[in-house]
Structure 1
Amino acid sequence: MSTEGEEHTTPHSRRIAAHDGVMAALGIRVERAEPGYAVARMRVRPDMVNGVGVTHGGMIFTLADTVIAMASNDSAAASLVAGADVAFLSPSHEGDELVAVAERRTLAGRTGLYDARVETAGRVVAEVRGRVRMPRETR
């Protein structure tokens, strides 16, 4: 898998992106990944829409989960999304390019809160708040 054209400020997000089969399968491209902030894109394909012709919520959430992972993985010990709340605000459709931006809101001990916004053509499709758990560093 390639990370060509992606800007990573840590080797950890670069390594994760290079080995993530889901990102590759869905065509998710990371534009920027730095501690506490990330941007990723995904074009909605015909196999990503549901029976009523809108993007399946699971596809939108996966993009948001990915961008939160890129923003939160800035150390050697992998951080994982421990829970998330999603609000789907408007539909997207086949052919739309979804852009997700994640930002760290707070970090307390080993728990971080990250907000991700998914948009298309300047319209908000979804908002996600992720709770990220940072494991203890291995010694």
Structure 2
Amino acid sequence: MTTPETILAPGVADDPAFDWVRTMFRDDRASQLLGVTITALEDGVCEGEFVLRPEMCNGHGNAHGGFLYAFADSLFAGACNSGGRPAVAAFNTMHYIAPGKEGQRIHGRAVQSDTWGRNGITDVELTCDGRVIAQFRGTSRVVATG
């Protein structure tokens, strides 16, 4: 489990341009519960990692897809919120390619590939030990605040 103080790795998102997304992650209890650490954040890009704990594995001893999905969704949120405007998911899909196992560190990289109006498309690739284990694609929508 990470905390509001440790979810962002040291030096990540220190620029005032990232105030919104930094606050979003510090208030993100779900990502903290997963143990996510955001290791890089720039405009349209978010990277992170977490370790698969025993309670995150299914009856086959593999990573439960819901935990991988939640992790990918957190990175998706980082990428599509990095521009400083609040964005939410409108539609997401995930392809599971290979299993992750208990104790393994899962890395992820989200890249916002296209934006138009208040919409965006972000691709997330999850890897373990250098091999791709899942691919996620999400559509985001910038929402009004207040």
Does the alignment pair 1:17 with 2:25?
yes
Q: Offset of 1:136 from its aligned partner?
A: 4.0
Q: From the superposition, tell whether residues 13 and 114 of structure 1 become closer, same or farther in structure 2 (CA, over 3 Å).
A: same
Q: Which range moved further: 44-53 or 73-82?
A: 73-82
Does the alignment pair 1:111 with 2:119?
yes
Q: Which range moved further: 127-136 or 94-103?
A: 127-136
Contact 2:106 2:127 in 1 (8 A): yes
RMSD, matched Cα? 1.5
Contact 2:125 2:134 in 1 (8 A): yes
Q: Which range moved further: 70-79 or 24-33?
A: 70-79
Which of 4, 10, 14 does residue 5 from structure 1 map onto? Answer: 10
**Residue in 2 that maps onto 1:127:** 135
**Residue in 2 that maps onto 1:48:** 56
Contact 2:9 2:39 in 1 (8 A): no
The count of aligned residue pairs is 138
Q: What secondary structure sits across from 1:7 in the alignment?
A: coil
Q: From the superposition, tell whether residues 6 and 132 of structure 1 become closer, same or farther in structure 2 (CA, over 3 Å).
A: farther
Q: From the superposition, tell whether residues 111 and 21 of structure 1 become closer, same or farther in structure 2 (CA, over 3 Å).
A: same
Q: Offset of 1:34 from its aligned partner?
A: 1.6
Unaligned runs of 5+ in 2: none
Q: From the superposition, tell whether residues 93 and 52 of structure 1 become closer, same or farther in structure 2 (CA, over 3 Å).
A: same
Does the alignment pair 1:32 with 2:37?
no
Contact 1:28 1:42 in 2 (8 A): yes
Q: Which amino acid aligns with 2:130?
A: G
Which of 92, 95, 101 does residue 93 from structure 1 map onto? Answer: 101
Contact 2:44 2:83 in 1 (8 A): no
Percent identity for Structure 1 against Structure 2? 26
Alpha-carbon distance in 2 for matches of 1:82, 1:31: 25
Q: Which range moved further: 45-54 or 76-85?
A: 76-85
Q: Offset of 1:137 from its aligned partner?
A: 6.2
Q: From the superposition, tell whether residues 6 and 126 of structure 1 become closer, same or farther in structure 2 (CA, over 3 Å).
A: farther
Q: What secondary structure sits across from 2:110 in the alignment?
A: strand
Q: From the superposition, tell whether residues 76 and 36 of structure 1 become closer, same or farther in structure 2 (CA, over 3 Å).
A: closer
